[in-house]
Amino acid sequence: MRASILALALVGLAPLALAACGEAAEEPAAPAAPAGPRMVLQASQAADWQAVSAEVATVDQAQVLARIPGILTSLTVREGDTVARGQVIGRIVDSQLGYQAGAYGAQAAAAEAQAAQARSELERVRFLHDNGVYADARLEQARAAASAANAQVRAARAQQDAVSAVAGQGALLAPTSGRVLRADVPAGAPVAPGMAIAVITAGPVILRLEMPESLADKVRAGSRVRATIGESEVSGTVTRLYPAVTAGQVTADVEVAGLDGRLIGRRVAALVETGNRPALLVPEAYVTTRYGADYVTVLGADGAASEVPVQTAPSGEAGKIEILSGVRAGDTLVGRQ
């Protein structure tokens, strides 16, 4: 009887032992660590970029100005033409100068006639003086008259030359070698002294920034600049910061290699470096984008990996993305293989 009860107990315990073994066999194993490069997120110094307006320009622009009043009789250049320094590109004619030149020419001719008469009189007086007819005073008087006549001739010729010189200023000369930016005064138009007839580029092509005056203390020579021209992005450095504020704007020149100068005056969008700030920068391989949202893989303390949504922004550093929120310094990230 006792043996039967013991056998029944063993039979009843057998399923429990088997169930316990089954539960032990079904316990999930620890998750395997994901494959791929890893990095511990650390804060680093990143450049702070500010959006500004920029214009494709040249170092200098030379104006061709009218120096005399008159009529622009000819202008031989148009926008886009290349000119050399000293090249005649137009001419201004003042009709009054012709009349003045004629009047001074007539005065010079009259003075020449009077001078010739005075020289003849001086020769006659000198002959008679040498023969004892005239006294020394009469000879000196004739010499003075001849000298005065010669002075009148020189004065008339100087006035004539002055009018010719003024007329010569009607020639419009290119002040420097470069390309013509503007030449919008038509031939036949009246012009006044100081009027701009044409504008010519001078110097290499640069990118000219126009920044708010609040950035004057943050931007300096050597600051980096990135600009988008068409479909390409160019970069350069600030070479000159103009020490003046005009209408709340500060101007700076940027040297950019290979800048296309065919469209001087073209407006472009640019970013200028205004200093450094702490930021979380990661290589692009650590960020995954799905359906417009960015994710990073974070490795937990237990070795389990989880995808965390993050907010990102361009960093300005090649191949890196800035993480604005979602993770913090000290987290371990796993990148794509």
Q: What pLDDT digit, counting tens, does each position of 136-180 carry?
A: 888 788 888 888 888 888 888 888 787 777 777 888 999 888 888
**Taking the CB of residue 270, how many other CB atoms lie within 10 A of it?**
27
Q: At what angle do helices 95-130 and 136-168 cross, to 10 degrees?
A: 160
Task: Delineate the domains of the chain, giving CATH numbers in brackets.
Answer: 38-46+279-334 (2.40.420.20), 51-61+200-275 (2.40.30.170), 95-165 (1.10.287)
**Pairwise pLDDT comparison (19 vs 273), residue with the higher score:** 273
Give the tokens for residue 212.
Answer: 């708010």
Residue 221 burial by Cβ neighbours in a 10 Å radius (0-12, 13-18, 19+): exposed
Burial class (CB in 10 A: 0-12, 13-18, 19+), 56: buried
Mean pLDDT lowest for which of 24-33, 87-96, 256-265?
A: 24-33
**CA neighbor of 143 nearest in space, from 131, 127, 125:** 125
CA distance 316 to 227: 12
Cβ atoms 89, 199 nearer than 8 A: no
Specify the pLDDT at position 252: 92
Beta bridge partner(s), residue 299: 305, 332
Q: The pTM is what?
A: 0.56
Predicted pLDDT of residue 24:
44
Q: Under a CB-based contact definition with an 8 Å cutoff, are residues 289 and 307 in contact? A: no
Distances, alpha carbon 283 to alpha carbons 47, 76, 148, in Å: 16, 58, 94
The rounded mean pLDDT for the chain is 81
pLDDT at 266 over 50: yes
- What integer pLDDT is reported at residue 14 of this predicted model? 44
What per-residue string of b and e applies to 81-115 under the rule 16 or more CB within 10 Å gives b? Answer: eebeeeeebbbbebeebeebbeebbebbeebbebb
Burial of 337 (0-12, 13-18, 19+ CB in 10 A): exposed
Instruction: Label residue 113 by pLDDT band (50, 70, 90).
Output: confident
Mean pLDDT of 308-332: 83
> What tens digit of pLDDT does each residue of 33-54 get?
566 788 888 888 777 888 898 9
- Token pair 């205004």 is found at 274
| Chain centre distance of CA 306 | 49
With 80 as the cut, is the pLDDT of residue 97 above it? Answer: no
Confidence of residue 203 (pLDDT cuts 50, 70, 90): confident
Report the pLDDT value the prediction gives residue 209, as an integer from 0 to 100.
92
**CB of 78 within 8 A of CB of 199?**
no
